[in-house]
Structure formats: C-alpha cells, structure tokens
C-alpha cells in the first residue's frame, strides 16, 4: 500500500467530487457469489465508462505499476483504493498486484523489502511512501507454500494467475482490478453492481471463507460500518454461529483489527454492528458481560463517539485511552463493591485488579506493553483525582504527564452518568480554569470522598511491579 502524501489534499478533494450516480449501470445480482460464478473472462469496463483516473492515484503507486509493466510483468491496482475512488472517497492507500514473484519484485526495486510469513508481501519505498505489492494468489490445492489446518489458512503463499487471484479476494467490492496497460477495470464478481447497491458480499461460500480466515467476519463488519453498506443476508447469516472461530486468531492480529474498527472514524457504527453479530464479545468478553448495565453502555458509546469526533476534527486519538475506557467497566466491577462505589479503593487494590484483568484480556486481544503502562497510569490516577488535595500536592498532579488523559477520563465517567465521578469532574474543571487565588479557595471546597481514608505511613517497601505476560513489540 502507499500513503497519499505525494498528492495535495486540495487536488484530491477537487478530482474526487464524484457521485456513485456516475458508476456504470450493471444488472443487479441478488444471488450469492458462489465459487463457480467467478468469471474466468471478467467484464472489462473501458476507461470512458468508469471514474478512476490516473489523477486519483499517487505518483508512487503509478511508478511501481509502470516499472513492473516495463519489466514485462502484469500490474494492477486492486482492493480498497480502487473501491474508494469509485465511491468518491479519498483512498488511504493503494494495493498493487502482479504476476512477478516476491524475489523478482525485490530485484526490480532497490528499495524493496519482503515482509510477512503468513502472507509474503513486498514493500517498495519511494520517497516517503511505501507501496505494498503482492503476487497473484491461487488455490491451496495447487501446492506451493500454502498451509491449512482444520480449514483455516495458516500460510497463504501459493501463487497463480489474476483469474485465480480474483477468487482469493474476500468481498466482491474488493475484487475490481485497474489495468494500467489500458486503464480499464476488470470485474470478476459483479463488484460494480454491489458497489452501486451498497452491499457487502463474500466471494464464494461464506461459511467456508470464514473458516479459512475468521477475521473476514470482522472485515465484513468494518466495511459495512465504514461505507454505510448492508451485509448481504447470505454473507451475514453464518457470522452469528461462527464468531467463536476468532478465538483461534493470534491476539496480536486481533489488536490490529480492533484499531481499524475503533480508530478510523466510524467507531460507533462498528460497535453497533459488532454487537448485532455477537462479535464484540469475542474481542472484549469481560466488557461485554457488563453491557446490560445502562451506565456501562453509555460510557462505551460516549468514548467511541468522542473518538469519532476527534478524528473528524483532525485531532489525535490515543489507543491507550480508548482501551482504558473499554476495560474500565470490568475493572471497576472487579473491585470490592463498597470501595468502588465510594472511590476509596487503594492504588495497590486497583493495580492487582488490573493485572488480573489484563492477563485474561490478553488471551483475546494482545495489548502491547507500552499501551498497558499508559492504561494503568490513567486508571491509577482516577483514585488520586478523587482524593483530597493538600498543600502543593495539586501541582504534582497537574504536572503529571498523564494528568490530562486522566482528567478527560474522569469527565468521560461523569458524562456516562457515573454519579460518584460528577462532583470531582466539576471541581477539577473549575480548578484547572482558575487562577492561583481562586485555586486556594477551591482547595477548601473539595468534594467528600464518601469515607475518610486513613493516612498511610511511608514504608520502605518497593513499589508493586505489575507483571502482565504480554508480547513485547
């Protein structure tokens, strides 16, 4: 794939003001796309009849396409970049496919690096862009470096032709190929019809395709949320029964999917779809157990809405903050009821509870160590933000590198209807926006914590070190 840094956003905004009304009219196919309906002779849509122009493609991707073609290889754009341009969207990247083998691609481009074991890819670096190039895939029964176990693809390095590659694509709308040789589009699976109708449809037998790679279920939900499309009934039906297959996916890979689902600007819709198809509980089972509580559901929806709004305003978002919010309900529920309700739990109590939760959660979605540390700091500061502030100790809090994130987290809890958090969120908001004289007056008006905490003696004991067995990055 290649980033779009080489094209100015102004130019792209101008050339991509296209409507799906301009997509060519093709007969609507209401039946599922089965294996035998992948056309060996695809519909070829000439350049005058579609809206994808070279103006929409990054210079780096064009360079790779032309260099492959001049070297005697076939070269096409395929996937999300083609789909998004046809929908009038600005693509995040473009994927290139070719009949050149990975080693041949590496010889052709000096700045090429081969990556991946399960799915071998070539990354070609041109200026600041990285163009991702894949070799046409084929069926595993052709031999080669393909490994399957109980119907699931473990390694997918069996190479073939473009006709075979079309079958290996997951959804019809992602199986449209842009041919750089004549600027036409190749449609193998009625993808243009589904693109116009707004339908997410699996290529082939849905159950078999999900069993090959269960992540396809998450991708179906992600594309539906991102594009505002409807998942075809034949594609949707097996998801409810097969969601448990995600337990066989490496937790690190599921983290990548979680970030795509919740950190791309459509988190609220993704959450709704995940719950509809019983997939959210496969990713965050301990949070899912808490969703019958209205306050918990409100907190999750609020943090997802806030994340979408920040991305809409081109503001940064922090995965640690989002994950801290997603796991806060089961964490707070695991604390002793009386302590949690009055915000009187100790730091040690909180850290031990977080350790237990993170170890269990890691079996589903692997959270990197650097993110775990930030999450635990946000959680531990919640306790300090509801403790009476004496003397100049408030300065230490204000200067803490995680104070702002922790304060925002306290506001989030209050917005979600957590009554215990509301007076403290209001107090800290006033305190932050006050001058020094006003702050001194506010120190005497700090909200009650519900019960007095005994003053702890200093001890020479070392700080508790939370050892969460997670993979290092």
pLDDT value at 439 more than 80: yes
User: What pLDDT is stored for residue 302 in this prediction?
Assistant: 97
CA-angle at 179, arms to 176 and 184, nearest 5°: 80
Angle between helices 347-361 and 369-385 (to 10 degrees): 150
In terms of phi and psi (left: phi > 0; alpha: psi -120 to 50; beta: otherwise), the region of 362 is alpha
Residue range 234-246, pLDDT digits in tens: 999 999 999 999 9
Percent of the chain with pLDDT over 70: 79
- Residues of the chain within CATH 1.10.3090.10 domain(s) are 284-443
Residue range 190-246, pLDDT digits in tens: 999 999 999 999 999 999 999 999 999 999 999 999 999 999 999 999 999 999 999
Residue range 297-311, pLDDT digits in tens: 999 999 999 999 999
Q: Which residues contact 343 (CB under 8 A, 6 or more apart)?
A: 382, 383, 386, 420, 421, 424, 449, 450
- Residues of the chain within CATH 3.30.460.10 domain(s) are 9-204
Confidence at 345, pLDDT banded by 50, 70, 90: low
Residue range 387-400, pLDDT digits in tens: 766 666 777 788 89
d(CA 427, CA 385) in angstroms, rounded, equals 10
Please, are residues 158 and 142 in contact by the beta-carbon 8 Å criterion? yes
- The DSSP code for 455 is P
User: What pLDDT is stored for residue 222 in this prediction?
Assistant: 98
User: What pLDDT is stored for residue 453 in this prediction?
Assistant: 46
Sign of CA dihedral 3, 9, 13, 14: negative
CATH of the domain spanning 284-443 = 1.10.3090.10
CATH of the domain spanning 9-204 = 3.30.460.10
Nearest Cα residue to 60 out of 135, 130, 134: 130
Mean pLDDT of the chain: 85
User: What pLDDT is stored for residue 466 in this prediction?
Assistant: 44
For 353, what's the count of Cα atoms within 13 Å in the CB-facing half-sphere?
21
User: What pLDDT is stored for residue 9 in this prediction?
Assistant: 43
Residue range 82-97, pLDDT digits in tens: 999 999 999 988 999 9
Nearest Cα residue to 171 out of 204, 139, 144: 204
Mean pLDDT over 432-455 rounds to 73
User: What pLDDT is stored for residue 473 in this prediction?
Assistant: 41
Mean pLDDT over 72-77 rounds to 97
Sort strands 112-115 and 121-126 into parallel, antiparallel or unpaired. Answer: antiparallel
Mean pLDDT over 32-54 rounds to 76
User: What pLDDT is stored for residue 348 in this prediction?
Assistant: 83
What the block records as the tokens of 208 is 């078999």
Q: Which residues contact 76 (CB under 8 A, 6 or more apart)?
A: 65, 96, 97, 98, 162, 177, 178, 179, 180, 186
d(CA 311, CA 183) in angstroms, rounded, equals 34
Among all residues, which ones are annotated catalytic?
93, 95, 170
For 25, what's the count of Cα atoms within 13 Å in the CB-facing half-sphere?
1
User: What pLDDT is stored for residue 43 in this prediction?
Assistant: 93
Mean pLDDT over 36-49 rounds to 79
Residue range 109-165, pLDDT digits in tens: 999 999 987 789 999 999 889 999 999 998 765 555 544 455 454 556 789 999 999
pLDDT value at 337 more than 70: no
Mean pLDDT over 331-354 rounds to 75
User: What pLDDT is stored for residue 343 in this prediction?
Assistant: 54
Nearest Cα residue to 119 out of 147, 150, 151: 147
d(CA 254, CA 274) in angstroms, rounded, equals 14
pLDDT value at 19 more than 70: no
């Amino acid at each position: 794939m290649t980033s779009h840094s080489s094209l100015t956003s102004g130019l792209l905004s101008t050339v991509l003001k296209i409507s799906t009304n301009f997509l060519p009219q093709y007969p609507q196919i209401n039946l599922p796309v089965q294996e035998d309906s992948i056309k060996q002779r695809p519909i070829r849509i000439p350049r005058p009849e579609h809206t994808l122009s070279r103006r929409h493609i990054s210079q780096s991707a064009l360079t790779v396409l032309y260099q492959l073609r001049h070297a005697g290889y076939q070269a096409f754009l395929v996937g999300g970049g083609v789909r998004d341009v046809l929908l009038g969207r600005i693509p995040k990247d473009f994927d290139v496919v070719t009949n050149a083998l990975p080693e041949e691609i590496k010889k052709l481009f000096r700045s090429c690096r081969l990556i991946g074991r399960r799915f071998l890819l070539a990354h070609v670096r041109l200026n600041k862009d990285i163009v991702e190039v894949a070799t046409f895939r084929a069926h595993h029964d052709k031999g080669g470096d393909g490994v399957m176990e109980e119907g699931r693809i473990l390694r997918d390095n069996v190479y073939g032709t473009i006709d075979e590659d079309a079958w290996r694509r997951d959804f019809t709308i992602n199986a449209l190929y842009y041919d750089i040789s004549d600027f036409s589009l190749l449609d193998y699976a009625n993808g243009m019809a589904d693109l116009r109708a707004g339908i997410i449809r699996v290529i082939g037998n849905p159950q078999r395709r999900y069993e090959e790679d269960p992540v396809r279920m998450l991708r179906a939900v992600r594309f539906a949320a991102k594009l505002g499309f409807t998942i075809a009934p034949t594609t949707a039906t097996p998801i409810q029964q097969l969601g448990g297959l995600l337990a066989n996916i490496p937790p690190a890979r599921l983290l990548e999917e979680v970030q795509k689902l919740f950190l791309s600007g459509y988190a609220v819709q993704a959450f709704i779809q995940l719950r509809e198809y019983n997939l959210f509980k496969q990713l965050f089972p301990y949070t899912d157990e808490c969703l019958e509580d209205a306050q918990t559901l409100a907190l999750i929806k609020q943090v997802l809405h806030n994340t979408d709004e920040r991305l809409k305003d081109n503001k940064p978002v922090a995965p640690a903050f989002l994950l801290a919010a997603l796991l806060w309900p089961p964490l707070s529920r695991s604390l002793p009821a009386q302590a949690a309700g009055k915000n009187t739990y100790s730091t040690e109590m909180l850290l031990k509870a977080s350790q237990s939760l993170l170890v269990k959660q890691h079996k589903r979605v692997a959270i990197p160590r650097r993110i775990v540390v930030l999450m635990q700091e946000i959680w531990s500061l919640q306790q300090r933000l509801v403790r009476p502030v004496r003397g100049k100790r408030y300065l230490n809090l204000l200067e803490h590198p995680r104070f702002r994130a922790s304060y925002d987290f306290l506001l989030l809890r209050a917005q979600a209807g957590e009554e215990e958090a509301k007076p403290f969120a209001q107090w800290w908001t006033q305190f932050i926006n006050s001058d020094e004289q006003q702050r001194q007056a506010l120190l005497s008006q700090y909200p009650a914590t519900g019960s007095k905490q005994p003053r702890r003696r200093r001890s020479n004991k070392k700080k508790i070190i939370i050892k969460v067995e997670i993979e290092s990055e």
